Amino acid sequence: MQTSYDPSRSRWRVTYQVNGRQHRRFFQTRTAANAFAANRRAEVRQFGVPWASLTALQRVDIQVQLDRLKRAGWTLRAATGFTLEHGKAPPALPCKRSRRSAFGPKRRKRAVRVRCGSSAQRLTAS
């Protein structure tokens, strides 16, 4: 993180990185620029780069969801574990989608068996 003066526009610039991309913030005074840089460094040191890289809106959303879990009597660790253990399986493809993916861009001449739900259907190229 670097604080420097931009003489062409009479302002102070703080250059920092978020997710490998360079960002800049501009300030009218050196004090404000140094305060932002110190605050950013402290945040990264205390919480790590992933948390410091979140926007304010993302942080608010995380806090709202944590509050919802707390009201329901869950911790984040318990809710995540439950979801991973009992989570829903990805939805099955509908038959039309299966037929399109079975024949793909090259139309096949032979029949292809595609399983939809509990019954197998014989699909042929039309």
The encoded tokens of residue 96 equal 């039309």
Tens place of pLDDT per residue across the chain (126 aa)? 788 888 888 899 998 887 778 889 999 999 999 999 999 889 888 888 888 888 888 889 999 999 999 999 999 898 888 888 887 766 665 655 555 555 555 555 555 555 555 544 444 444
d(CA 38, CA 114) in angstroms, rounded, equals 60
Domain range list for the chain: 1-53, 54-87, 89-126
Residue among 50, 3, 43 nearest 27 (CA) = 3
CATH architecture of 1-53: Up-down Bundle (1.20)
The pLDDT value recorded for residue 120 is: 47
pTM flag (> 0.85) = no
Give me the half-sphere count of Cα atoms (radius 13 Å) on the Cβ side of residue 46.
Answer: 7
d(CA 23, CA 79) in angstroms, rounded, equals 35
The pLDDT value recorded for residue 114 is: 55
In the beta sheet, which residues pair with residue 114?
Answer: 121
Give me the half-sphere count of Cα atoms (radius 13 Å) on the Cβ side of residue 23.
Answer: 10
